[in-house]
Structure 1
């Protein structure tokens, strides 16, 4: 749980940069890559990261650009990247307006009421989870895997 705005902003800067690197590795022709038929595709996961960031932000009371749940997955990787950049920047700008005391405010979380600082922690954890799934699919698709948390095979 975050108790200091600056702590969240520093971690969000690193986390969103890593997610952006993964999204920038996508190509239009590989957006339908999945582990097996019927499972999440690279495109769906990337678009889910955009949507989930908006949803968690909404729960936290942040005013950021959101996609609608019924919006289809874009057919171009560039559209996913642009949408993520917009939401990531919006989160940074909105959280910077908060006070440390605001992080203690209890809001309706995804599954139960929780402090806003805890919900922002869940946002980053959720993003990290799906970013990890995407790195597996990038490798399976034959695309380069960015070194988000350290060097990858391509970097050695």
Structure 2
């Protein structure tokens, strides 16, 4: 749970930069990648991440939200939408929330959560789906950027053998 605004801003800046690295490496063809026939596509999951900012409305944040049902067919459009949305979240949190407000309890879906916990869940939700994207990216033959350490491709780029 976040107890001060700056902590969220610092963490979300780092995590959204990692998410943006993924989004920037998508191709239009990769958006159709599925792990199995009846599962979500890479494009669907990416757009779901972009659209999730709209779910922050119960916190009182005013953020321009994308339509979750109007997924672009272009990888570049999804990446640019994420860039704008992530920036909007950072600006909104900085300008519209105070540390004290993070302790306020609100109705969030069927739960009573503090605004600080909603922001925590928002961040963890993105990280969760980013992990799914990594698998789909590998299946689609895309390079994977390291998030918390070098990826296989980055180890090789440094002239080192990746750990097995």
Q: TM-score, normalised by structure 1?
A: 0.94
**Helix, strand or coil at the partner of 1:149:** coil
Runs of 4+ in 1 over 4 A off after TM superposition: none
Which residue does 1:4 correspond to in 2?
Answer: 4
* 2:78 is aligned with 1:80: yes
Deviations 1:110-145 (A, max 9, x none): 341210000000000000000000001101111000
Consecutive unaligned residues in structure 2, runs of 5 or more: 156-164
**Helix, strand or coil at the partner of 1:31:** helix
Q: Which has the larger radius of gyration?
A: 2
Q: Number of aligned residue pairs: give it.
A: 154
For residue 148 of structure 1, report the CA deviation from its aligned partner.
1.6
**RMSD between aligned alpha carbons?**
1.1
Q: TM-score, normalised by structure 2?
A: 0.90
Deviations 1:57-97 (A, max 9, x none): 212211111122332x2110111111111111111011112
Distance, in Å, in 1 between the alignment partners of 2:127 and 2:47 is 14
**Helix, strand or coil at the partner of 2:66:** coil
Q: Is the 8 A contact 1:65 1:86 kept in 2?
A: no
Q: Is the 8 A contact 2:137 2:144 kept in 1?
A: yes
Distance, in Å, in 1 between the alignment partners of 2:120 and 2:64 is 20
**Helix, strand or coil at the partner of 1:144:** coil
Superposition pairs of residues 71-150 of structure 1, within 5 angstroms: 71=70, 73-97=71-95, 98-150=97-149
Distance, in Å, in 2 between the alignment partners of 1:116 and 1:61 is 9
